[in-house]
Amino acid sequence: MRRRGRAAGRRPGTGRESGADRESGADRESGADRESGADRESGTGRESGTAVVDFALVGAFVTLVFVAVVQLAVVLHVRNTLVDCASDGARFGALADRDPDAGAARARELIAADLSPAYARSVTAGRERFGGLDTVVVTVRAPLPLVGLLGAGQVLTVRGHAVAEAP
């Protein structure tokens, strides 16, 4: 009956074979194979140290991809927040007892509270005819966040629309 996990007749830890194993040809290796196996295990072969380089290169790439995904999420968050604030300002300015300027002021308040007052610097409102209906349009021009919430020079423009109520 053979034992599992080790060849029968081999003494653990010695690497020696019994006579039966040598005669049957089991576990035969040349001297070069034994050395390369030992080199691989001890890390003295040609590939020693490559794991560090691989880790550094792959780690840098994964970090760069992660930062890019987070930055994309920040840009989308800012854009969606601006769209929501512009739409809410347009709905507020479209009420029967309000004018478009009140909607722009409302949008500025919301943007300053949700993001930063720097994003609320350029908010305009006006009336337009759209599909035969009188609408209030609130336009927000804000810096495009490129590093965190800091903008560089690109401008993000969003608009919010609402049908004006009759007085």
- In angstroms, the CA 95 to CA 51 distance is 66
Instruction: Summarize the confidence of residues 137-160 as an average pLDDT.
Output: 85
For residue 42, being part of any structural domain is answered with: no
Check: CB of residue 143 under 8 Å from CB of residue 163.
no
In the chain, the number of structural domains is: 1
DSSP string, 84-125: HHHHHHHHHHTSTT--HHHHHHHHHHHHHHHT-GGGGSEEEE
Tell me if the pTM is above 0.85.
no
The tens digit of pLDDT for each residue in 68-78 reads: 899 889 899 99
- In angstroms, the CA 134 to CA 33 distance is 86
For residue 29, being part of any structural domain is answered with: no
For residue 104, being part of any structural domain is answered with: yes
For residue 81, being part of any structural domain is answered with: yes
For residue 16, being part of any structural domain is answered with: no
Who wins on pLDDT, 135 or 27?
Answer: 135
The tens digit of pLDDT for each residue in 50-94 reads: 888 888 999 999 999 999 899 889 899 999 999 999 999 999 999
Instruction: Summarize the confidence of residues 104-118 as an average pLDDT.
Output: 95
Instruction: Summarize the confidence of residues 125-136 as an average pLDDT.
Output: 93
Parent domain of 110? 50-163
For residue 90, being part of any structural domain is answered with: yes
For residue 108, being part of any structural domain is answered with: yes
Phi then psi dihedrals of residue 154, to 5 deg: -75, 145
Per-residue confidence (pLDDT) for residue 49, from 0 to 100: 78
The tens digit of pLDDT for each residue in 5-43 reads: 555 555 555 555 555 555 555 455 554 555 455 555 555
For residue 97, being part of any structural domain is answered with: yes
